[in-house]
Amino acid sequence: MKIIKKQLRRIIREEKQKLLNEVARNYSGVSEEHFVNALANTWDAIRADVLPMMGGTMHYIEIGEEVMAMMHAYEREMGELFDRLSEEEQDELFKKAFGPGSSY
């Protein structure tokens, strides 16, 4: 059986979309990316005040706790949605936003 370029492109596009759908996990109808961005934006807003008080270095869970305490002030709607997530989902998002491999 011979596969032409058009068929091959279609197959690749379909498989790529399947992978993207798996990666773009949703939490309570909101994409992971939106939550991670809201967490990062809040941390950017409070980092200058919080980091020196904590000795200059923090574990991603500590950063997450500080962000959660202030998220309603900076990202009110996302903060309310974040509160509805399970503790495991929140920890997973903290790790993605502030854990190893993140820019923080």
Whether residue 40 lies inside any domain: the answer is yes
Whether residue 51 lies inside any domain: the answer is yes
Give me the number of domains the chain comprises: 1
Of 60, 64, 61, the residue nearest 42 (C-alpha): 64
Whether residue 104 lies inside any domain: the answer is no
The reported pLDDT for the residue numbered 20 is: 63
70: left (phi over 0), alpha (psi -120 to 50) or beta: alpha
Check: CB of residue 75 under 8 Å from CB of residue 35: no
- Answer yes or no: is pLDDT of 5 > 90: no
Spatial separation of the C-alpha atoms in residues 12 and 102, rounded to whole Å: 29
For range 78-100, the mean pLDDT = 91
The reported pLDDT for the residue numbered 26 is: 67
Whether residue 6 lies inside any domain: the answer is no
Structural domain span for residue 52: 26-98
Side-chain half-sphere CA neighbours of 53 within 13 A: 8
- Answer yes or no: is pLDDT of 1 > 80: no
pLDDT digits (tens, 9 = 90+) for 34-84: 999 999 999 999 999 998 888 888 889 899 999 999 999 999 999 999 998
